[in-house]
Amino acid sequence: MTSSPAGRDAPPADAGLLAPGWTGSPAAAATGDGAYLRALLDAEAALTRAQAALGLAPAEAATAVTGAARSGAFDVRSLAERARGGGNPVIPLVADLTEAVGATHGPYVHRGATSQDILDTATMLVAARTLDLVLADLAGTESALAGLAAAHRDTAMPGRTLTQHAVPTTFGLKAAGWRSLVLDARDRLAVVRAGLPAQLGGAGGTLAAFTVFAPVTGGGTPGAPVDTHALVAAYARELGLREPELPWHTLRTPIADLAGALAFAAGALGKVAVDVLTLARTEIAEVAEGSGGGSSAMPHKANPVRSTLIAAAARRAPQLAATLYTAMAAEDERPAGAWHAEWEPLRDLLRLVGGAARDARELTRGLRVDADAMRRHLGLTHGLIVSERLAAELAPVLGRARAKDLLTRTAARVHAEGRPLADLLAEEPDLKDLDLADLTDPARYTGSATDLTDRALERR
């Protein structure tokens, strides 16, 4: 079989063939080329409407530009190819939109703006629309984890440190911890979402071009100074974005804040995923995904695919955020390369987190918990999992040094003989009055896990 020539019957460039983590997610649609084109056109149309609201453009121009700014009327592939000429897609889009509006009102397209104004604003629109979807999925994940935490608030299981059994804990506390991280991610993303600003600065961030426009309608006085503050405010209102204090063309706080919150969200969801991956191992099997994925070679496999994809996103996100942080060192009033370096990593980051949030919602809603397996595993060390408790309980009876020596020797015997710790301690005459069965019951040594779970669940 021979391969077809490049380009023949080729799928869309961003179909996501190698990105199952975000393919098909709501975020995929919200960040695709079509979504970016929609946002660019929305930014252009909003600018003309804002100018019309202040009498700087005819109302008919605002209507004409808004009507022409239909994404289906523009060729994304052509725009992408022509973007190479000027280094960004706004330049060819403005030419096409101006032509679509027509000679009468075409001069009011992009009037006073620069490419970065439109692309940055469109990026904020894409981010806002994507974050709304992510926040909805995080809400679903939080709800599912709250249910798991409440249902298993008393389900004892081994706590593991450095891969080994440490002390008992509860699955309820673990799920409550996962939920706490998800809520932390939600809070950070919600703050960033509320603060996403429009961008309007003109060629060098001074709004200079806007100050020379004479009013064309209403009661404006020809030659009167243009209130650029009012223009920026009107522009932000048209878009549903925050009004910025200053043009932020080289003050990249909005991008850095967005990057940080997205990377945090990926890591928070990654914590849930890697815990599930560990607990879902065949030899542990304390949890299982609701519907595991198959294998191309092994029919028996039910792989924890959702967790795997979330973990992959968590590993990629920090590097993408790092690229966005480096773009903060943006020279002059428009940098050569720093701004351009943001576009793809930010979209990738939005997609990754959007896909991970989608998968986390599915994962937590379908997660199966095997409480019996957790209980069995508490007994794998024949009682040694409560050695911390015994050290504290026996010190007043035997003295601290003797208690430690006894437990050290007895632990060695447990490992060598495979006998329960309680049986071996029962051979010690000085311990005959103690309820060793109770003292060595792992389910009776979960500390404040239940109270901590209940306290965590009070958070809304």
Residue 71 annotated in active site: no
DSSP state letter for 291: S
Q: Which of 295, 444, 448, 455 is catalytic?
A: 295
Q: Which of 82, 334, 365, 375 is catalytic?
A: 334
Residue 295 annotated in active site: yes
Task: Enter the tokens of residue 214.
Answer: 């004479």
DSSP E strands, 139-233 = 156-161, 164-170
What's the count of helices (H) and strands (E) in the chain, helices before strands? 17, 4
Neighbours of 120 (CB within 10 A): 26
Strands 368-369 and 156-161: unpaired
Strands 287-288 and 156-161: unpaired
Helix (H) or strand (E) segment spanning residue 151: helix 115-151
Q: Do residues 276 and 147 make contact, with C-beta atoms less than 8 angstroms apart?
A: no
d(CA 123, CA 115): 12
Dihedral of the alpha carbons of 139, 142, 147, 150, in degrees to the nearest 10? -140
d(CA 307, CA 324): 26
Neighbours of 12 (CB within 10 A): 12
Q: How far is CA 62 from CA 45, 221, 230, in A?
A: 7, 21, 17
**Catalytically annotated residues:** 295, 334
